[in-house]
C-alpha cells in the first residue's frame, strides 16, 4: 500500500447549467468535479488519463460517497482538494473536499474507489509504471 | 421511525447523452435515475414533490453512496428499485438497486439521505402530513 | 430525396436534474430529448441506432437549431414530435416540436442535420439498407 | 442597435463527463460552453449575471444555432470566442466560435438570441444601465 500523496487542487466556477430549481449546484455536479480533480491529479503526476485509455486501460468508479454540507451557487468559485488515499494492486481510492473559495467554507466531502480494467472490461493489475507514478 | 415501504420501480432507457467515452452510462447517470425514482416514489404515495417545493419545503440530498457492479450501455432498459429505508423527524433515507431489465443482472446499488429544509435553507421538521403519507 | 415520414412521438417527464436556477428545464434538455426522439425513430422503423454504431457507422449532429417558446418545469410531461425531413446520400435531417402534454401548448421547435461517418470519422454514404428503411 | 463589442474568450478543458460513446464531446457540451462564455462576457463588462437574476431579471435563450465542424475529445483545451452581435430594446444576440487550442482548428460556430424577462416570465425592456454596459 502506498503512502498518500499531497493534496492537489482543482479550481472550478459553478456553471449555470449545473444549477437546479433549488437555485443551487445539483448534487451530481460535485461528482463531475471529483472526476475532473482526478484528471488534474493524473496530469500533475505526469500520467495523462487520456493516454492510459488509449492503451486500453480504464479506472472506472466502483464506489462513490458524497456528503453535502452547504450549497454552492451559480458563479461561485470552488476548490476541490483531492488526495490519493490508497493504492492496491488492482484498485485505488481518492478523497475529496469541496471548499467555497470566497469564505473557505467546506461544502462537501467525498470518496471514490476505482478498479483497473482492460479493454475487455476485465479487472487487471494497475500497470507497474502507473503504480510507480502514483507512489512517487 | 417508520417501517420501510414496499419497493417502487422506475423504468429508464439509457440515453445517448448519458454515455461517456468508455462507451457506458456515466456514473452520474445512476444518481440522476435515483432522483427520478424518488420523484416516482412521491407520486405513487400521493405526495407530489413539485407541490412540496411550491410550499417552500425541500428535501436535498445530504449523503449519497453508490456501488457500481456492471455497466449499462446506450439504449439498455434498466429498472431502479427504490425503498424508503427510514423516516425520522427531520430526515429520511432511500435505498436503490439498478437492474438490467433484459437479464435481471444487478448493475448498481445505492443510498441517499435527505434532510428537510425550508425556503431559508434551515433544517425543519418534515411536515406531519408528509410523514403520515410516508408511513401509510 | 425521400418523402418525409409520419411523425413519431417521444414522451418524456422533465427530470429534476434537467432544471436550472430559473426553475425551468435548462435549454440543453430539449437537445437531449431531440436525441432520444431520434433513438425512438430508429427503433420504430426497425433500425436500432446502437446496432448501427456496432457496425462502425455514426450519424453525428452537424447542425442544430432550437427556438424556445415557453418553459417546461420539473415533473411536466412533454411530447417530442419528430419527423424525418430529408434524406440525402450522405446526410439526413429531422424536425422537432416539443408540446406540453397537459395543455397542448407548443414549448419549442427545432431541427438537426446529421452526416454519416465511418469509424475513421470520414464522411461516407448512408448504407443502402438504412436508406431503404428511412424511405419505407 | 449597438455596435458589436470585441471578442471575449473562455478557456475550457473538455471534461470526461462531457464525452459520449462516440468518444467525443457530446453536442450539448458546446451549448453549455456558450452559456459560460456569456457568463464571462457579463463579468468582463462589469455586469454580473448572478446579480441581474437577484433583481428578478433573466435573459433566457430564445433561439439557438450550432454548426459542428470537427470533434473535441476528453482533456482537449478549447477556446470559446464570443461576440455580442446585436442589442435591441428587449433582446440581444451573441455569436460563438469554438477553437481547438493546440491546433487553432475551428470545431464549431454558433449563435444564441436572448429575450429579457422579469420574475413573472413577462418580456420587458433590458434595464437602461445594462444596455449602457453592453454598449460601452
Flag whether pLDDT at D117 surpasses 50: yes
Question: Is C75–B36 a contact, with Cβ atoms under 8 angstroms apart?
Answer: no
Q: Report the SS3 class of residue D20.
A: coil
Per-residue confidence (pLDDT) for residue B47, from 0 to 100: 84
pLDDT of residue B68: 98
What mean pLDDT comes out for the span C103-111?
Answer: 98
Q: Note the pLDDT of residue C88.
A: 95
Residue tagged active-site, from A6, A20, A76, A118? A20
Is D121 in the C-facing interface, judged by CB distances under 8 Å? yes
Q: How far is CA B67 from CA B22, B71, C70, D40, in A?
A: 18, 11, 39, 37
CA dist D33 and D10 (Å) reads 8
Segment C30-43 mean pLDDT = 97
What tens digit of pLDDT does each residue of D56-96 get?
A: 999 999 999 999 999 999 999 999 999 999 999 999 999 99
For chain B, count helices (H), then strands (E).
3, 5
Please determine, for residue C58, whether its predicted confidence score (pLDDT) is greater than 60: yes
Query: What is the tens place of the pLDDT at every residue in A76-95?
Result: 999 999 999 999 999 999 99
**Is the separation of the CB atoms in C95 and C109 below 8 Å?**
yes
Which residues are CB-contacts of A96 (< 8 A; sequence separation ≥ 6)?
A: A33, A34, A37, A80, A81, A82, A108, A109, A110, A111, A112
D21, D62, D65 member nearest C65 (Cβ): D65
Of A41, A33, A38, A43, nearest in space to A11 by CA: A33
Is the pLDDT confidence value at A1 over 60? no
* Neighbors of chain D with 3 or more C-beta pairs under 8 Å: A, B, C
pLDDT at D4 (0 to 100): 47
How does pLDDT run across D86-113, given as a tens digit for each residue? Answer: 999 999 999 999 999 999 999 999 999 9
Shortest Cα–Cα distance, D72 to chain B (Å):
12
Q: Does D28 sit within 8 Å of B17, measured CB to CB?
A: yes
Predicted pLDDT at D6:
83
pLDDT value at residue B57 = 92
CB contact under 8 A, C58 and D31: no
Tell me the nearest-neighbour CA distance from C75 into chain A, angstroms: 12
How far A31 CA lies from chain C's nearest CA (Å)? 13
The pLDDT assigned to B21 comes to 95
Contact B68 A63 (CB under 8 A): yes
Residue to substitute from A75, A77, A119, interface D, most D β-carbons within 10 A:
A75
Task: Tell me the percentage of chain A whose pLDDT exceeds 70.
Answer: 96
Yes or no, beta carbons of B53 and A28 under 8 Å apart: no
Whether chain D has a CB inside 8 Å of the CB on B15: the answer is no
Provide the mean pLDDT of chain A. 93
Residues of D in contact with A27 (CB under 8 A): none
Nearest to C60 among D60, D65, D68 (CB): D68
Partner-chain residue, chosen from C15, C35, C74, that has the shortest CB–CB distance to B16: C35
Chain B contact for C49, CB < 8 A? yes
Choosing among B10, B14, B15, B51, which should be mutated to test the C contact, i.e. which has the most C CBs within 10 A? B15
The pLDDT tens digits of the residues spanning B94-115 come to 999 999 999 999 999 999 999 9
| Count of CB atoms situated within 10 Å of the CB of A48 | 13
**pLDDT-derived band at A5, boundaries 50, 70, 90:** low
CATH superfamily of B8-135: Hotdog Thioesterase (3.10.129.10)
User: Given a cut of 50, is residue B2 above it in pLDDT?
Assistant: no
CA distances from D45 to A58, D39, D48, D49, D134 (A): 43, 10, 8, 11, 7
The pLDDT mean for chain C works out to: 93
* Contacting residues for C71 by C-beta, under 8 A, at least 6 apart: C22, C24, C25, C107, D60, D121
Domain spans in chain A, listed from the N-terminal domain onward: 8-135
D27, C60: Cβ pair inside 8 Å? yes
Q: For A66-73, what is the mean pLDDT?
A: 97
* Closest Cβ opposite residue D68 in set C22, C24, C62: C62
Stretch B84-89: mean pLDDT: 95
Residue for grid cell 461517456: B20
Q: Are A90 and A58 in contact (CB under 8 A)?
A: no
Rounded Cα distance, D39 and D58, in Å: 12
Answer whether C60 sits within 8 Å of D22, measured CB to CB: yes
How confident is the model at residue B5, as a pLDDT? 53
Asked if residues C33 and C27 have their Cβ atoms less than 8 Å apart, the reply is no
Determine the pLDDT at residue D5. 54
Distance between CA atoms of A3 and A134, rounded to whole angstroms?
9
pLDDT surpassing 50 at residue C3: no
* B18: nearest CA partner in chain D: D20
Condensed to tens digits (0 to 9), the pLDDT of residues D19-37 reads 999 999 999 999 999 999 9
Cβ contact, residue pair B16, D17, below 8 Å:
no
Stronger pLDDT, A74 or B50, i.e. the higher one: A74
Amino acid at each position: 500500500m502506498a503512502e498518500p500523496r499531497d493534496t492537489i487542487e482543482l479550481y472550478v466556477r459553478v456553471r449555470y447549467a449545473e444549477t437546479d430549481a433549488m437555485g443551487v449546484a445539483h448534487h451530481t455536479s460535485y461528482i463531475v468535479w471529483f472526476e475532473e480533480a482526478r484528471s488534474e491529479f493524473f496530469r500533475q503526476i505526469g500520467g495523462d488519463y487520456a493516454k492510459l485509455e488509449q492503451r486500453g486501460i480504464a479506472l472506472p468508479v466502483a464506489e462513490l460517497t458524497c456528503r453535502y454540507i452547504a450549497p454552492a451557487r451559480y458563479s461561485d468559485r470552488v476548490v476541490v482538494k483531492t488526495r490519493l488515499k490508497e493504492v492496491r494492486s488492482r484498485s485505488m481510492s481518492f478523497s475529496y473536499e469541496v471548499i467555497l473559495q470566497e469564505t473557505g467554507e467546506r461544502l462537501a466531502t467525498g470518496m471514490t474507489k476505482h478498479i483497473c480494467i482492460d479493454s475487455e472490461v476485465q479487472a487487471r493489475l494497475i500497470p507497474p509504471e502507473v503504480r510507480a507514478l502514483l507512489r512517487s
